[in-house]
Amino acid sequence: MNKELEHKFVTELQDNQNIVHKVCTLYTNDRDSHNDLFQEITIQLWKAYPKFRGEAKFSTWMYRVALNTAITLYRKNKKRIDTADYESIIFKIKADEYDETEELQLKLMYKAVKQLGDVDKALVFLYLEDKNYTEISDTLGISEVNARVKMNRIKTKLRTILKP
Partner 1 sequence: MTDELELLKKDWQKKEFDIPKLSYEDIHKMIWKKSSSVVKWILIISILEFVLPQFLYFLPGMEDSMQVYKNLGVSRYFLGLSISYYAVVFYFIYQFYLRFKEISVLDNSKNLMRKIIKTRRTVKYYVIFSLAISTLFFFAIIMAIYLNNDITHAFPEIGNRLKDFSPDKLKVTLMISLGIFGLVFIAGLSLFYFLLYGLLLGKLKKNYTELSRLEI
Residues that bind partner 1 (CB under 8 A): 6, 9-11, 13-14, 17-18, 21-22, 24-25, 34, 38-40, 42-44, 46-48, 51-52, 61, 64-65, 67-69, 71-76, 102, 105-106, 109-110, 113, 117-120, 122, 127-130, 138-143, 146, 149-150, 155-156, 158-159, 162
- Which of residues 2 and 89 has its CB atom nearest to partner 1 in the complex? 2
H/E element holding 112? helix 102-114
Shortest distance in whole angstroms from residue 63 CB to partner 1: 11
Residue 89 or 99 having the CB closest to partner 1: 99
State which residue, 88 or 162, has the beta carbon closest to partner 1. 162
Q: How far is the CB of 86 from partner 1 (least distance, A)?
A: 20
CB of 90 to partner 1, least distance (A): 19
Largest CA distance in the chain: 59
What distance in Å separates the CA atoms of residue 50 and residue 89, rounded to the nearest whole number? 46
| Shortest CB 32 distance to partner 1, Å | 13
Q: How many Cα neighbours within 13 Å face the side chain of 153?
A: 12
Q: What's the CA gap between 68 and 45, in Å, rounded?
A: 11
Q: Phi-psi region for residue 54, left (φ > 0), alpha (ψ -120 to 50) or beta?
A: left
> What single letter denotes the amino acid at residue 73?
L
